[in-house]
Amino acid sequence: MIEFPRTVHASSDRGVVPFITQRKGEEAAPADLTILRQQNGKGPRLFYVDESFRDRPVRGILWARCSFSMGKHGMPTGEPEWKLMHPYRQMVTMLAGRCQICTRPARTPLGFVFLAGPKDEDPTQPSILTNQPPVCARHIRTAAKLCPHMEENPMVFLAGGAPLYGAMGSVYDFVFGGHGDVEVVSRPAEPVPFGDPRAPLLLASQLVRRLSSFRVLGLDEVLAKLAAAA
């Protein structure tokens, strides 16, 4: 598991770079995959041929491997790939409830703050699924500016509860038209829940939480409430 850095943030010519952002030179590792029947009789399961305990960090789900470009202070280095999240850094940040920008604990006195684009979610729904790790009070406005799809006017969710839900990724299976190779058979547009029949064959790349017991606030409104609660 990644040891979180002590530094506040990494920077580039554009200023702050989120910890979760993938960097040039960080590449997906070759996926030497196989499918074996589980000993508990629960059916087939996806495995790495050279698997280690680090490959199943959450609920037994197999996680996508990606190389790391990390500096001496534990922060990523290299030109940021702004549209990509590093699969492992996204996962550990979401799992630990850390800020996606600086990795400090993201819980505020009012709960966790999650951001989405102004048109990404329907706030009238009783629950919201998100692959975006939370942000700490210090970096709410920073995250809103850095993510182009938020248009500097994000939908802000102040969540009292955000249980783990599942993961985004690719589902694999045997393809018998050739040599029985293990190949991608689907890339679900929606997260695959833990406990779903597809989960044992999923190679996950993003951890997803379900926001419940949340309020939807404006950017200035949530910052004012957090300042008052500090």
Query: Would you say residue 109 lies in a domain?
Result: yes
pLDDT exceeding 90 applies to what percent of the chain? 73
120-179 tens-digit pLDDT: 899 899 999 999 999 999 999 999 998 877 878 899 999 998 999 999 999 999 887 555
At 201, the amino acid letter reads: L
Which domain does 104 fall in, by range? 21-165+207-228
Number of domains into which the chain is organized = 1
Those residues whose C-beta lies under 8 Å from the C-beta of residue 172, and which sit 6 or more positions away, are 33, 35, 46, 182, 183, 184, 185, 201, 202, 203
pLDDT averaged over every residue in the chain: 90
Query: Would you say residue 182 lies in a domain?
Result: no
11-38 tens-digit pLDDT: 443 578 999 999 999 999 887 899 998 7
For residues 132 and 208, is the Cβ–Cβ distance under 8 A? Answer: no
Asked if pLDDT for residue 6 goes beyond 70, the answer is no
Q: Give the pLDDT score at 11.
A: 47
Identify the residue with better confidence: 9 or 210: 210
pLDDT band at 3 (very low <50, low <70, confident <90, very high): low
Closest by CA to 118, choosing from 150, 147, 143, is 150
- Residue 74 falls in which region: left (phi positive, over 0), alpha (psi -120 to 50) or beta: left
Query: Would you say residue 1 lies in a domain?
Result: no
Query: Would you say residue 7 lies in a domain?
Result: no
Query: Would you say residue 202 lies in a domain?
Result: no
Q: Please tell me the pTM assigned to this model.
A: 0.91
Query: Would you say residue 188 lies in a domain?
Result: no
Query: Would you say residue 211 lies in a domain?
Result: yes
Query: Would you say residue 179 lies in a domain?
Result: no
Q: Give the pLDDT score at 178.
A: 53
